[in-house]
């Protein structure tokens, strides 16, 4: 029986190992984390993350060949395993050289040193975390300069799942990418991991490359995805000036097979724990490699994203007679996207903070993400009202802003909501999920992204 250990039971480690365990009953999978609360949650019915379909997979595998453990026994687990996935967090460095841009590899390096300390037999070490290109080289140096004579093969197997669709993405991935060294033992290690995935992923979808291509491809995939959003968001600003409709433009260009229809939804901006950090990291690497023009090119993707959030708030202020002070504003959505409870880098919280600066009375409403939002907002949370029920949140409000594309927000009774609000009532659809004409007919002043606003009066918008 193959013995798999995963270090890091987060958004990636937990679901990925659950799907591996489900499809490979002949393997035993153990997941350790230094966060004991997280492990307790993985072992309970209240899983630590909200992800559609996750509970079903956990119910199949947990206790059979999937086990969640605290890191008290990490020494034993490391020595037990043949294959170790490392799926720890790699946030942006907050201090020292490269602060605010480079990836902080302290968790990764700590893990490598733990492996070195406790392993007494050969292992395949897999980078599941997103890492700067050539990190595996540093890891190989740390691991293979040991005096105990143990062979470590380091592979890169980046994860491409998106939150909210993690289980579907893991069950039916567009591809699985495995990078390794072109040495006999590197190739054997690759083949071992190809066999693991081949338990449910068609072989033609399993791509093998050299280590550096695999590491870099992960950063590049995220940069390209974010670039598409920034591109359509840039065009949304132009649409608002010209009465073109960004959804019509996105549809028209997306029918060109070379462009494709995905990731062209204009929005209040992209969020999530990875796009920003991975692009910052790419920019930093380019600078370090003496490529300032390339760095600047990718930096622009982030600049456009900040512009889009700032533009959204400026539009609210301007449309509501240049003052939000003391006005009650209901924010529909706290999660960075639909179907997740994750609020990391959520554009909803960016807007929330800006509105607090404007001294608005902010009500935050979300079906699954309020607890995370409260934690992320930290001391500013005191100034925010957290209300799970959208009807309560909107009661007496001057405006609603849609900040997360939960389908649930599109299906509310806006007639009832309109009647309960202060008038004139404003609605800012930062995700273009509502029926704007219908809302306008109800009496709302409606401000979509990348479309002309629908107003019952003209107060000199420029
Ligand atoms: P996360 O913060 O949710 O989880 C990381 C976990 O690792 C935490 O629970 C932490 O306690 C644990 N950890 C850190 N150091 C440890 C150690 N030495 N021993 C034991 N546990 C340790 O992070 P995540 O969202 O799962 O992301 C993990 C990596 O995967 C990152 O590099 C990220 O860029 C990448 N990634 C994330 C996503 C996503 O959708 N979140 C998708 C693809 C790739
Ligand atoms: C993203 C990538 O899609 C994954 O492939 C990758 O594995 C992951 O980052 C990662 O490395 O962490 P994720 O951030 O979970 O996944 O979610 P996305 O669906 O990519 O959405 C990111 C943000 O972009 C969200 O705020 C979403 O609302 C926004 N978005 C997405 C738009 O504004 N418009 C779109 O057309 C698509």
As a three-state string, the secondary structure of 407-437 is HHHHCCCHHHHHHHCCCCCEEEECCCCCCHH
Kindly identify the ligand whose nearest atom is closest to the C-alpha of 49.
1
Specify the residue with its C-alpha closest to ligand 2, atom 7.
160
DSSP state of 282: H
* 351, two tokens: 């807007």
* 175, two tokens: 């591809």
Give, for ligand 1, the residue of 117, 166, 274 to mutate: max count of ligand atoms closer than 8 Å to Cβ: 274
CA of 415 to the centre of ligand 2 (A): 32
- For the 211-462 domain, the top CATH level (class) is alpha beta
Q: Which residues is 311 bridged to in the sheet?
A: none
Nearest Cα to Cα of residue 212 among 320, 139, 275, 264: 139
Kindly identify the ligand whose nearest atom is closest to the C-alpha of 345.
2
Residues 341, 343: Cα–Cα separation, whole Å: 6
Instruction: Using the atom order of ligand 1, give the atom closest to the CA of residue 71.
Output: 20
Domain ranges of the chain: 2-201, 211-462
Residues 158, 90: Cα–Cα separation, whole Å: 13
Instruction: Respond yes or no on whether the N-terminal peptide bond of residue 74 is cis (omega within 30° of 0).
Output: no
Specify the residue with its C-alpha closest to ligand 2, atom 4.
162
* 315, two tokens: 């539009």
- The whole model's pTM is what? 0.96
- For the 2-201 domain, the top CATH level (class) is alpha beta
Helix or strand or coil: residue 23?
Answer: helix
The answer to whether the beta carbons of residues 55 and 47 sit under 8 Å apart is yes
Q: pLDDT at position 138, please?
A: 84
Chain center to CA of 293:
27
Q: pLDDT at position 139, please?
A: 85
* 91, two tokens: 């946030």
CA of 205 to the centre of ligand 1 (A): 25
Q: pLDDT at position 117, please?
A: 92
Sheet holding 152-156, edge to edge: 66-70, 27-33, 2-7, 83-86, 123-127, 152-156, 176-180, 206-210
Specify the residue with its C-alpha closest to ligand 1, atom 11.
35
pLDDT in tens, the chain (462 residues): 899 999 999 999 999 999 999 999 999 999 999 999 999 999 999 999 989 999 999 999 999 999 999 999 999 999 999 999 999 999 999 999 999 999 999 999 999 999 999 999 999 999 999 999 888 888 888 888 777 788 899 999 999 999 999 999 999 999 999 999 999 999 999 999 999 999 999 999 999 999 999 999 999 999 999 999 999 999 999 999 999 999 999 999 999 999 999 999 999 999 999 999 999 999 999 999 999 999 999 999 999 999 999 999 999 999 999 999 999 999 999 999 999 999 999 999 999 999 999 999 999 999 999 999 999 999 999 999 999 999 999 999 999 999 999 999 999 999 999 999 999 999 999 999 999 999 999 999 999 999 999 999 875 444
- Ligand 2 lined by 161 (C-beta under 6 Å): yes
The answer to whether the beta carbons of residues 404 and 434 sit under 8 Å apart is no
Residues 129, 154: Cα–Cα separation, whole Å: 13
């Amino acid at each position: 029986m193959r013995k798999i250990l995963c270090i890091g039971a987060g958004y990636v480690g937990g679901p990925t190992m659950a799907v591996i365990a489900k499809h490979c009953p002949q393997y035993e999978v153990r997941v350790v984390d230094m966060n004991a609360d997280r492990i307790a949650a993985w072992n309970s019915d209240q899983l630590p993350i909200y992800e559609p379909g996750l509970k079903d997979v956990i119910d199949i595998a947990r206790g059979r060949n999937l086990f969640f453990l605290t890191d008290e026994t990490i020494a034993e687990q490391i020595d037990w395993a043949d294959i170790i996935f490392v799926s720890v967090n790699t946030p942006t460095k907050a201090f020292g050289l490269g602060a605010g841009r480079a990836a902080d590899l302290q968790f990764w390096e700590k893990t490598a040193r733990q492996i070195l300390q406790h392993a007494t037999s050969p292992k395949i070490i897999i980078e599941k975390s997103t890492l700067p290109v050539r990190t595996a080289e540093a890891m190989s140096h740390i691991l293979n300069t040991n005096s105990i004579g143990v062979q470590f093969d380091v592979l890169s197997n980046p994860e491409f799942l998106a939150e909210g669709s993690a289980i579907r993405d893991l069950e039916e991935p567009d591809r699985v990418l495995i990078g390794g060294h072109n040495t006999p033992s590197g190739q054997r290690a690759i083949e071992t991991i190809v066999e693991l995935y081949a338990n449910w992923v068609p072989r033609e979808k399993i791509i093998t490359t050299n280590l550096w291509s695999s590491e870099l491809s992960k950063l590049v995939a995220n940069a390209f995805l974010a670039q598409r959003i920034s591109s359509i968001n840039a065009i949304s600003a132009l649409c608002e000036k010209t009465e073109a409709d960004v959804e019509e433009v996105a549809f028209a260009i997306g029918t060109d097979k070379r462009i494709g229809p995905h990731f062209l939804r204009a929005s209040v901006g992209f969020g999530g724990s990875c796009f920003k950090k991975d692009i910052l990291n790419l920019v930093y690497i380019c600078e370090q490699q003496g490529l300032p023009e390339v760095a600047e090119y990718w930096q622009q993707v982030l600049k456009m994203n900040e512009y889009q959030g700032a533009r959204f708030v400026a539009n609210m202020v301007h449309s509501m007679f240049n003052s939000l002070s003391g006005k009650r504003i209901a924010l529909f959505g706290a999660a960075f996207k639909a179907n997740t409870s994750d609020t990391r880098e959520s554009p909803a919280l960016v807007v929330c903070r800006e509105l607090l600066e404007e001294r608005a009375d902010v009500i935050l409403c979300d079906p699954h993400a309020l607890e995370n939002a409260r934690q992320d907002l930290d001391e500013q949370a005191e100034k925010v009202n957290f209300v799970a029920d959208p009807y309560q949140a909107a009661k007496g409000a001057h405006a609603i802003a849609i900040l997360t594309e939960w389908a649930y927000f599109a299906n509310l009774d806006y007639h009832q909501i309109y009647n309960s609000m202060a008038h004139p009532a404003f609605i800012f659809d930062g995700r273009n999920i509502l029926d704007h004409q219908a809302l306008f007919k109800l009496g709302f002043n409606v401000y979509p992204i990348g479309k002309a606003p629908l107003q019952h009066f003209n107060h000199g918008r420029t």
